[in-house]
Amino acid sequence: MKVGFYTLGCKLNQTETEAILDAFVSCGNEAVSLQEEADLYVINTCTVTSKSEQKARRVIRHLLETYPHARVVVTGCYAQLSGEQLKLLGDRVVVVPGSAKDVLLDLPRCMDSTGNFLGEMMESAACGTFPLDTERPFRFFSPRFKFHARASLKIQDGCDHRCSYCRVRLARGPSLSLPWERVKERCLELASRGYKEIVLTGLNISQYRSEGKSLGDLLQLLLELPLDLRIRLSSLEPEGITPSFLDAVRDNRVCPHFHLSVQSGSDPILQRMRRPYTAQKVQSVVEALRKVKGDPYLAADFIVGFPGETDAMYRDTLRFIQANAFTDLHLFPFSPRPGTEACELKPRVPERVTRERLEELTGLSTAFYRAYVERQVGQVREVLLEKHDSDEGWEGTSENYLSVHIPFSPEEAPSERGGPTTLMKGERVLCKILQIRDKKLIGMIV
């Protein structure tokens, strides 16, 4: 049976989709893209913004119209909160709430060769009546990854914050953590399968807690393992950058790549958002990360046009961004989400004003990113090889999260067997960055 997969949203969703895909492939099914006809499509949705929900509906409608015999299973955060709305898209749509998403790991064993569901499992999941427990969110573990050369390991789910704009916490529930011993076991298994980089992911990994151990403690425990592993972290909350965390990330095996969920540089707006820190706290966090990691790739999320954001407050955010020179800005226009406090907050910022602010910050982000990339020329970086072209060479990702192209040198010219035999996908190599060509870093293996 052919099965197509599509994921919207965060790295956590991507990690869970990889596990579901592996469950299907392990049972003899073939994974295909949405551009290919399949018997079944699995859509893992997001509810962060209204645009992410619109995109999910557009993808589902396209699949129903293009492939009239296929079934479409819809899961994720949007399915958790608006399942009835999604069911109206068509009678071939099966909605599985995000809280029951793990039943899709069992689905391949409960289907016949035509893709028909067997048993009562899917009916229970679709109705949201499947029994819940704290173990279920951590069933999403795959020892194999189709879409990435690096491995992802889910260590946390949910969030205990009550941010006024966030709908995802309503879908995911309170914070849960994978016991640190099981994190260790899964890291060992991934390393035994040859993975050289592991991404630790979750909805809010800064809230990781297991037997009194924080994220910093967990990192230190993993670094004590006798493994040749590079550790990368998914999005972090500023208040989670603690002394123990900073001590752990000093280690060269922790990638100098941090993505902070900041949202605003204005204290009054941060208070309206119910964020548990001030702009000055974020400033000190940025300085601390740069002190222990030199010149890391430092990305940050910002919501633009939050209700009540005056020109003066926006200028505070602009100055804050300029002062911190973030490598990359992930900018989101405010999207009122049903069920959240911010949905009712006034006064609303006019869309025209929000667009103007987004354009200004986007230009600033482009300039900061360009400056950061230009600083890499002449540097030696450790690159994880991800994509091989027998004529062009390798594409990979540096420890500081930059794409690097490695052309074949004359002695490594492609052979009839498809290129140099000394390099493999997923391997880490040291590269000297020689130049920037067409906005891409060009490196040479040293």
- Please write the tens of the pLDDT for every residue from 385-441: 999 887 789 999 999 999 999 997 544 434 333 444 478 889 999 999 999 987 789
Per-residue pLDDT, averaged over 366-390, amounts to 94
Question: What are the contacts of 79-86 at 24+ separation with CB within 8 A?
Answer: 79/45, 80/47, 80/171, 80/172, 81/47, 81/167, 81/170, 81/171, 81/338, 81/339, 82/47, 82/53, 83/128, 86/56, 86/57, 86/60
Give pTM, 2 decimals: 0.91
Tens of pLDDT, residue by residue over 229-283, are 999 999 999 999 999 999 999 999 999 999 999 999 999 999 999 999 999 999 9
Residue 144: both structure tokens together: 């194999």
Tens of pLDDT, residue by residue over 218-231, are 999 999 999 899 99
pLDDT band at 144 (very low <50, low <70, confident <90, very high): confident
pLDDT band at 115 (very low <50, low <70, confident <90, very high): low
* The pLDDT of residue 388: 87
* The pLDDT of residue 145: 85
pLDDT over 50 (residue 350): yes
pLDDT band at 143 (very low <50, low <70, confident <90, very high): confident
Q: Cα-flanking dihedrals φ and ψ of residue 220, to 5°? A: -65, -40
* The pLDDT of residue 127: 59
Q: Report all structural domains of the chain as residue ranges with CATH numbers, in order of start.
A: 2-126 (3.40.50.12160), 137-374 (3.80.30.20), 380-445 (2.40.50.140)
N-to-C CA span, the chain: 45
Q: How far is CA 242 from CA 214, 215, 248, 277, 327, in A?
A: 9, 9, 10, 13, 22
Question: CA-CA distance, 143 to 107, in Å (whole number)?
Answer: 18
pLDDT over 50 (residue 63): yes
Higher pLDDT, 113 or 259: 259
Q: 42 burial class (0-12, 13-18, 19+ CB within 10 angstroms)?
A: buried
| Residues above pLDDT 90, as percent of the chain | 82
Question: Is 222 within 8 Å of 182 (Cβ atoms)?
Answer: no
* The pLDDT of residue 414: 42
pLDDT over 80 (residue 161): yes
* The pLDDT of residue 415: 38
* The pLDDT of residue 413: 39
